Structures are given as C-alpha cells and as structure tokens.
Chain A
Amino acid sequence: MHHRPAIEIRGLTYEYPEGTRALDGVDDGVDLIVEEGESVGVVGPNGAGKSTLLLHLNGILGGRGEVRICGLPVIKENLKEIRRRVGLVFQDPDDQLFSPTVFDDVAFGPLNMGLSREEAAREVRRALAMVGLKGLERRPAHHLSYGQQKRVAIATVLSMRPDILALDEPSSNLDPRARRELAELLQGLRVTKVVVTHDLPFVFEICERVVILDEGRVAADGGAFDILSDEELLSRHGLELPYGFYPRGEDRREREGRRADLD
C-alpha cells in the first residue's frame, strides 16, 4: 500500500482574521511530516506559532497549504473523520471540560461520533480507566484537582480512540507528582503524539523527536537528544534547559531498551 504518514503538512501559512500572520517564517510555509507511532515534541518561544499549528491538525483553523491526516486531506467533508482521528487536548482543562459532569464530558465525543449510549458508556469507562480515574463519572469537573482535570481532559479524546494525540502544554501548572503521572500516562499510550510545550525535560521524557518552531518556521528537526543537548541551538531560538538539567543519551537508550522489552 501507498505509504501514508500520520500527519503531512505542506506549505502551511495562516493569517488570523485580525491580520496577524502565523507560520509565515519562510515564503512557502511550514512543512512537517510525522510518521505513525512517532512522538514529536514541538518547542519554541511564545508566539512561534506552535498552538496555531496544532489547531490546523483537526481543521479548527484552516490556513493556506495542505494538511493531511493519515492520507485524508483536512477539508470540510472529512472533518468528522479527522476529528475522530486527531484527539486535540487544550491547555486549560476549563476550556476542554465544559459539561456538567465528567461522564458527560468523556461521552461527548463518542456520542457525536454516533455511538449508542451503551457503547459510549463503555468508551467512557475504558478512557477513565486508562487515565487512572475510574469512578469519577458523576463528579463535576470543578470539584477535581488540577492534575485530575488534565487527565480527564485527555480521557475526553481517548474515548474517541484517536490515532493521533495532539497536546497543547500538557505539563503546564502541574505539581511534580501530577507531572510525572502525566508523563507515565502518555508514555503508556501507543498512538502518534504531538506535544506542544516549553517544558524541555518533559519533551525529553516522552518524545523521541523534537521540532523547534521559531518565527513561523521549522528551525530545527531531529532526535530529542541531539536537539536538546545542543545548548547553542536552543538559545538561538529563545529556549533554555532548566538549571541543573542536562539530557543524557544513556537515559534515553535505557528507556527505549525498557520499552523494547515491553513489546
């Protein structure tokens, strides 16, 4: 069969209604290919266009250029299928969780896909179990801890069985334990992942590939260790490793070895 990457972005540029341009660093726009099963961290300074890029993956924004998800072009006729395939998790759980109860929120996607209530309820149980929050169905989102809200937000797209998980700043505002639990959760999910963040250690932990987006263009693209250990490259694009953090290649290899053992 013809080779189909999970995400195929070619020549993408976008202009916001108020006239601000994004992803316009080079004349022919942004190109990015993500293969199936890859974990890609998209890093870069504020205003680099990271979130704008993310919103193109499921057609919330539609700029100039071409975006394909598993071979399907992101156009109006395909939006329903594409939004099932791309699970987009917003940064603020208060935006992602808009229903009166956790159950209603996690069931929202499956019901929109046309699942029956029994099937939807099954997906809700499965998704909540995956994020380790079984039994919270009846709770209002407002009564959960911030870490729990983040995980419910992820459950709301896992219930749609997405092929691609697109996360905007997943680790922001989390305390260290919630952050570690989130990293472990994401590592355990066998789907294609695109993570937009400033949190370089977090990216190092869950992504094997890193893309630096700066001034609306892809400034660097390579293995996580190669990019994150190049301090000179990072600082050229407004990125810095936190004090005391130095990526070590062994860590990665060790972890990948462990992951290979699991397979």
Chain B
Amino acid sequence: MHHSFLDSLSVLDSPLRRLDPRAKLAGLFFFILLCVTTPPDLYSAFAAYLGLELVLLALSRLPWRQVARRMLIVLPFILVVAAFLPFFKKGGGSYNLGPLSFSGHGLMVLWNVAAKSTLSVLAVILLSSTTPFPDLVKGMRRLRLPELLTSLLSFTYRYIFVLTDEVQRMRRARDSRGWSGRWLWQARTIGHMVATLFLRSYERGERVYAAMLARGYDGSLPLIYDYSFGEAEWAFASLVVLFPLAARVLSYGLG
C-alpha cells in the first residue's frame, strides 16, 4: 500500500507548493476560523470565501476532478443534518416538499453546515495537497507545536502502512486456513489478531527505539527546515486572512 491518498498530489510544482508550510498552516487556520464564525446570513461573505479558494485552487494547479472527489467526504455530515431537517424547530416561515415541511430556520441550519464544512474542507485539501506531509509536520514543529504531537504524526506517517501491510498478511494467513467469519466462535480470532498486532507493534517500537539510540538519539528529533518565511509567504498569509476579513466586514453592510 502507498501513501498516495495522503499527499500524492503534493509533488506537483506550483506557487502554492513552494510556499513555506508555516504560511499555509497559519493562514488557512485563520481562514477557517473566520469562515466558521461568520453568521450564516452573510451570503456575500461566503461567496467571497469561495472565490478566494477557487483562485488558490487555480494557483495550485491541482486537478479539479480529484479535488472534487476528495470533497465528497463532507457529504455524510451534510446528509445527517438534512435527515433531521423536518424536526428542527419552527420559525422563519415554512416550505413544503411533498408531504414534508421544513422551517426556514431549519433550512438556515442546513445551509450553515453545508457552506462552512465545504469551505473548510476545501481549505484543508488546498493545504494537504500542496504540501508534502513530512514538510507539513516540520512546519508544525517550527510553529512550536508540542514535539510529542509532531513526532507522533511523523511516526504515524512512517508506520501506518507497515501496520496495514502486517494486518493484510495476517488476514491472508487466516483466510488461507479456512476462516469464514460467519460463526460467532470465530470472533475470537479477531481478538487474537488484535492482540498479536499490538504485541508486534510494541516490539517493533522497542527495536525502532534501539535503532534511534544507536545513532545518537538524545530525546529530541533533529529538524532540517528547507523553507524560509519571505515576501511570498507574507503575501499569501495576508491574502488568506485580510481578504476574507474585509469581505466579512463589508458584507454586514450588504446583508
């Protein structure tokens, strides 16, 4: 198995790809913060956010189709809210769709969730698809996130596929010996597999730690950072923070 679903697109060269990950991390973080705190009825502000993201998407040279496919992960959230729509409290007028009736208030909640989750997820996709994961983690470290957290992320990135490969080998060995998964007594096997996986991972952890010690590890992972925070980074960060901020303030006037 490969890392492809994580950051396969991050090899594409683009102005966004070359930016210091810190600018993208901090800028898009504040962008999302601004977005989710915007009152849902400031429609023109949301239009401005989307416009900004589309400009960034064009700059990133990411294939639209794949971005759209990744966007699908917001759908379940929107659908859950939509399913509860008829039960929202009344108010703000009512609308009928066949036998169902929705309140204007409920529709506003749906719009709120749909717009904000879509915009936020698109921002995260812009970040993760233009930044190789190792660089993203290094950016986090340079932004002073706790090293425990960033090391954890970095080891997860390194070992998640080692683990999934191990699970797959175990499943093949299990199924080769006639395991059907149809009977309740076979559930024990799952428990054994989980325990085995835990033990193997634990032992691997010890070997990895020994390998780290063998090369002089003293409690802190070294960090080589190839980016610098220059004009382009300041320009990007101010664009993704100031433009939506201005749009939000102005749209109070527009309503």
Could you tell me which A residues sit within 8 Å of B by CB distance? 55, 58, 60, 80, 83-84, 86, 88, 90, 92, 94-101, 103-104, 107-109, 111-113, 117, 120-121, 138, 140-143, 156-157, 160
Contacts and interface: CB of A to CB of B under 8 A. Distances in A.
A8 to B, nearest CB: 19
A7 to B, nearest CB: 15
A142 B161 contact: yes
Contacts of B132: 138
Contact of A83 (B133, B208, B214): B214
B215 A104 contact: no
Nearest to A86: B214
Interface string B151-171: 000110111011000000000
B51 interface: no
A156 B212 CA distance: 11
Contacts of B159: 94, 98
Interface residues of B, number: 28
A157 B137 CA distance: 24
Given A99-B154, A99-B158, A107-B224, A90 B213 contact: no
Contacts of B155: 98
A21 to B, nearest CB: 19
Contacts of A92: 207
Contact of A117 (B154, B221, B224): B224
Nearest to A156: B215
A8 B189 CA distance: 49
A142 B2 contact: yes
B230 interface: no
A90 B207 contact: yes
Given A88-B211, A96-B211, A101-B134, 12 more contacts: A83-B213, A84-B216, A90-B210, A92-B207, A94-B204, A95-B208, A108-B221, A112-B222, A113-B216, A117-B224, A120-B224, A138-B132
A103 B134 CA distance: 11
Contacts of B137: 100
A166 B152 CA distance: 29
B6 to A, nearest CB: 10
A143 B133 contact: no
A113 to B, nearest CB: 6
